[in-house]
Structure 1
Amino acid sequence: MNQNRNRAVVMAVDDDENILTVLEARLENAGYTPLLADCAETALEMLADNMVDLIVSDVKMPGMGGQALLEEVSRSWPHIPVIMLTAHGSIPDAVTSIQTGAADYMTKPFDGHDLLQRIASMLESNPQKKTVDAPRLDKDFWGGEAPAMKKFLGLLGRVAPAEANVLLLGESGTGKERVARIIHENSPRSGGPFVVVDCGSTQPTLLESELFGHTKGSFTHAVKDKKGLIEEADGGTLFLDEIGNISPEMQTRLLRFLQERTIRRVGDNRERTVNCRVVSATNAGLQDMVRSGDFREDLYYRLKVVTLSIPPLRQRMEDVPLLARNFAAKLCEEQGRTPVEFSEQAMKRMMEHPWPGNVRELQHAVEGALVFCSGNTITPEDMQLEILETPQSGDDSLSLEDNERKAILRALEHCNWVKKAAADELGISRRAIHYKIKKYDINVPE
């Protein structure tokens, strides 16, 4: 994460290690904070974690490539200017980059002083906001005192103002729909509609019509034209809950929409353009579904331009007292009853409970306790909490960051802490593993 926002942050993206080294030295000498990525995929991950003022990227790179990176930045972070580096004399590449949204281009080999002058000129003419406003939150539900939650809210504050598609990961009861609404309300699309689609509870045979709409007579009972929920979200945010439940056919149709930004109603031949941001959520292991062939890999990467993992309540137990008191105060006000307190034993009982149902379970537990509470103090008996053997921590965590950190640690240990070997085993680049080691504060023995 960037700590010193008095220095402009410039990201350099190139698969040539020598060029990255040169760019790093020049940027530091010019007073900038450099961020280095050796592929477009790593660059996108770093953009989700850092505030970046300008990007310098090569065009020709393995994998996603510089042109696709430019397209994603232009769509998701349109305020960030991009300078593209292209091979000498490759005018078509340069023209394509400018048409896609690049602020400028330079041919290799480039003049370092010229590049720094262009960077300075762009930053001067395109001053960026150096701080991110904290997202507007319902403190009754979020709390936010625990380190895990503070970190999550910091990421949320950076993600919300962007245009990138977001994949929310979290256990049941962590508040994924609330997070999606916060993203919408703190984005440039806040004036548009916020449309929720529960892919888990909608029958597969009906989901196509619900999402894409239909024309009159396209099937039995289609007595009139109907606008689909994707079309309803035009200009706003579309929230796809439990995205892992959609059928292979729906995956194909959804992928086409995300690529083309057009839809076709069931029974209609006309294409309709829809401009909406897509936020999706799941408590299923989408990566496992991709590996097993049950979920399209290309759709997965379209949905997870930015990934946010909502911490389960057991990982932020510091928030339990605040949340419990907030829930109790709000419920007492709604019910017109005298405010209540929690006994020391009741609070201890709550702090020992694993909360498998997360914040939603805590909210319901407080609501139930008020029913049984005969005075103004809630006791352990009023809480009606079941004694469960669910572990409060360990390998069952659904946190993407926890699991990624463990995977990196296992690979490093298996490869005797040789970073290049661990990167090869994980299928990521050397620069990517260096970034993740720093991101997760992993102590690598000398």
Structure 2
Amino acid sequence: MKKGNILIVDDNKNVLSALRILLSDYFENISLLTSPNTLISELRDKSPDVVLLDMNFSAGINSGNEGLFWLSEIKKTDEELPVVLFTAYADIDLAVRALKAGATDFIVKPWDNAKLLATLQSAFSLRQSRKEVKKLREKQSVLNREIQKEEDICWGQSPAMQRLLTMIKKVAVTDANVLITGENGTGKELIAKMIHRYSPRAAETLISVDMGAVTETLFESELFGHVKGAFTDAKVDRAGKFEAADGGSLFLDEIGNLSYPLQAKLLSALQTRHITRVGSNKSIPVDIRLISATNKNLFKSVKEGGFREDLLYRINTIHLEVPPLRERREDVPQLAEFFLRRLAKKYNKGNLKFSEKALRKLENYVWPGNVRELEHAIEKAVILSDNEELQPADFYMRTPDETSFVVESFTLEEMEKILIEKALRKYDNNISAVAVELGISRPTLYSKIKKYEL
């Protein structure tokens, strides 16, 4: 199957004719130039995937400097474009200079057809891989743009969060691997983005991978890439996440969900800093800064045999533990106001505010879903409210049987309040029915409703 565009630059018309015949079954479009003088404009017009460039164009000059000059001009136009250099004067020093200048390969005339084809097709595959990496990076960059500035995030002013933020900024400027742990909804991904933003790699891409969503069969292809024909659906060469993150940071979210056999493959890549695409024997070096996150206790998993100890120590140079929201309730008002401002603007309800009772209700709740649950609760209230002031009734809070959160996390008063709220909703505020349900008198129920501001 013919694929790709190739541009051939050589002052020998016989060479150009021979190459057109040879390559016509392999490349979709073949452009020929007898002089490099219009080379740059040809690059813009034809958008080649590969350039085959002669090194000498002036009679009596065989130094190869002309080829090196035009190679540098090509690289100024498109640094990623593979260029294979072509010369009748083989010279080791010249080949080394060419490769250092950015050439993909070096072919000597007269050429061997099979070797030339293999070299050009390899260069084309390199071009496709670079395009794939670029596409992955651009896609991730769009996601990363969601959080660009420090003022776009609210962390809270609690001592626990301030200690964590201080540590994040100290760690970020290093290249150390970081493991972020904490319950769901605490903001582990935001912290990963913050680490990348303050790191020396900030100009490069942060590539995120949800390890919980990667199936065992696709693990190697997703992370390490594959070559065409490696398996049934491998129609083209494809770069993996490691290659896309080269020079930047790789964020492996929910790493605790990775099966034991796959942990060994990940460990090997992290130890050697080389990956091999599925179906290929070529080792590819990668330069990444690893950030991992999990809501699991990996130290406990190691003791139970579910997680490799050597992998844990590889990813755990620095360990950051994100405290749950229930342990820093003093942050709730600030977080709530932050979300309200942002969401009211999003839904064109700019005058919305919290009533004192509503804010107190938010403060008193234990937030088993942490900051994410708080944001969702406020978003729902903003959408549904018809008033300019949000009231306690605008916020629906989960009850113990609606969450996996353990009862020990609630105080006795919190449990009592939750049970009364649930009964009031169940019986549509019918006080007599609620009192019977809870086994208390109506006066006692009224007293507790007043106490808890329900």
TM-score (norm 2): 0.55
**Structure 1 residue 392: Cα displacement:** 9.1
* Equivalent AA in structure 2 for residue 147 of structure 1: P
User: What secondary structure, in the 3-state scheme, does the structure 1 residue paired with 2:175 have?
Assistant: coil
User: What secondary structure, in the 3-state scheme, does the structure 2 residue paired with 1:168 have?
Assistant: strand
Q: 2:377 aligns with which of 365, 371, 378?
A: 365
Residue aligning to 1:222: 234
Distance 1:305 1:393, change over 3 A: farther
User: What secondary structure, in the 3-state scheme, does the structure 1 residue paired with 2:195 have?
Assistant: helix
* Equivalent AA in structure 1 for residue 220 of structure 2: E
Distance 1:168 1:143, change over 3 A: closer
Per-residue CA deviation, residues 128-164 of structure 1 (Å, 9 max, x unaligned), is xxxxxxx986456433211111111111111111100
Q: 1:248 aligns with which of 260, 277, 282?
A: 260
Residue aligning to 2:96: none
Residue aligning to 2:271: 259
Residue aligning to 1:233: 245
Q: Which has the higher contact order (CA 8 A, sep 6+)?
A: 1
Residue aligning to 2:387: 375
Q: In angstroms, what is the RMSD of aligned CA positions?
A: 2.0
**Structure 1 residue 372: Cα displacement:** 2.7
Within-5 A mapping of 1:170-185: 170-185=182-197
Residue aligning to 2:127: none
Within-5 A mapping of 1:111-260: 138-139=150-151, 141-260=153-272
Q: 2:357 aligns with which of 342, 345, 360?
A: 345
Per-residue CA deviation, residues 173-200 of structure 1 (Å, 9 max, x unaligned), is 0111111011001000001111000000
What is the CA–CA distance in structure 2 between the aligned matches of 1:148 and 1:373, rounded to whole Å? 33
What is the CA–CA distance in structure 2 between the aligned matches of 1:257 and 1:290, rounded to whole Å? 20
Indicate if the aligned counterparts of 2:181 and 2:295 stay in contact, CA closer than 8 A.
yes
Within-5 A mapping of 1:76-95: none
Indicate if the aligned counterparts of 2:156 and 2:335 stay in contact, CA closer than 8 A.
no
- Corresponding position: 1:289 with 2:322: no
Within-5 A mapping of 1:54-73: none
* Equivalent AA in structure 2 for residue 298 of structure 1: D
What is the CA–CA distance in structure 2 between the aligned matches of 1:197 and 1:165, rounded to whole Å? 16
What is the CA–CA distance in structure 2 between the aligned matches of 1:136 and 1:197, rounded to whole Å? 20
**Structure 1 residue 326: Cα displacement:** 1.1
**Structure 1 residue 232: Cα displacement:** 0.6
What is the CA–CA distance in structure 2 between the aligned matches of 1:247 and 1:208, rounded to whole Å? 13
**Structure 1 residue 283: Cα displacement:** 0.4
- Corresponding position: 1:313 with 2:313: no
Indicate if the aligned counterparts of 1:164 and 1:306 stay in contact, CA closer than 8 A.
yes
Indicate if the aligned counterparts of 1:218 and 1:267 stay in contact, CA closer than 8 A.
yes
Indicate if the aligned counterparts of 2:352 and 2:389 stay in contact, CA closer than 8 A.
yes
* Equivalent AA in structure 1 for residue 333 of structure 2: P
**Structure 1 residue 272: Cα displacement:** 0.5
Structure of larger gyration radius: 2
Indicate if the aligned counterparts of 1:136 and 1:186 stay in contact, CA closer than 8 A.
no
* Equivalent AA in structure 2 for residue 344 of structure 1: E
User: What secondary structure, in the 3-state scheme, does the structure 2 residue paired with 1:183 have?
Assistant: helix
Indicate if the aligned counterparts of 1:212 and 1:231 stay in contact, CA closer than 8 A.
yes
* Equivalent AA in structure 2 for residue 253 of structure 1: K
* Equivalent AA in structure 1 for residue 239 of structure 2: K
In structure 1, runs of 5+ residues without a counterpart are: 1-134, 396-446
What is the CA–CA distance in structure 1 between the aligned matches of 2:152 and 2:361, rounded to whole Å? 20
Distance 1:268 1:259, change over 3 A: same
* Equivalent AA in structure 1 for residue 331 of structure 2: D
**Structure 1 residue 291: Cα displacement:** 1.1
Indicate if the aligned counterparts of 1:236 and 1:276 stay in contact, CA closer than 8 A.
yes
What is the CA–CA distance in structure 1 between the aligned matches of 2:189 and 2:236, rounded to whole Å? 31
Per-residue CA deviation, residues 336-358 of structure 1 (Å, 9 max, x unaligned), is 22321111111111111100101
User: What secondary structure, in the 3-state scheme, does the structure 2 residue paired with 1:227 have?
Assistant: coil
In structure 2, runs of 5+ residues without a counterpart are: 1-146, 411-454
Equivalent pairs: percent with the same residue? 45
Residue aligning to 1:330: 342
User: What secondary structure, in the 3-state scheme, does the structure 2 residue paired with 1:200 have?
Assistant: helix
Residue aligning to 2:27: none
* Equivalent AA in structure 1 for residue 273 of structure 2: R
Per-residue CA deviation, residues 270-323 of structure 1 (Å, 9 max, x unaligned), is 111000000000001211211122211101100000000011111111111111
Give 1 or 2: higher helix fraction: 2
Indicate if the aligned counterparts of 1:140 and 1:327 stay in contact, CA closer than 8 A.
no
What is the CA–CA distance in structure 1 between the aligned matches of 2:362 and 2:347, rounded to whole Å? 23
Per-residue CA deviation, residues 84-107 of structure 1 (Å, 9 max, x unaligned), is xxxxxxxxxxxxxxxxxxxxxxxx
- Corresponding position: 1:279 with 2:291: yes
User: What secondary structure, in the 3-state scheme, does the structure 1 residue paired with 2:207 have?
Assistant: strand
User: What secondary structure, in the 3-state scheme, does the structure 2 residue paired with 1:284 have?
Assistant: coil
User: What secondary structure, in the 3-state scheme, does the structure 2 residue paired with 1:220 have?
Assistant: coil
- Corresponding position: 1:303 with 2:319: no
What is the CA–CA distance in structure 2 between the aligned matches of 1:309 and 1:329, rounded to whole Å? 28
Give the paired residue count.
261
- Corresponding position: 1:384 with 2:396: yes
Distance 1:249 1:241, change over 3 A: same
Per-residue CA deviation, residues 328-384 of structure 1 (Å, 9 max, x unaligned), is 111111222232111111111111110010100000000111123221100010012
* Equivalent AA in structure 1 for residue 290 of structure 2: V
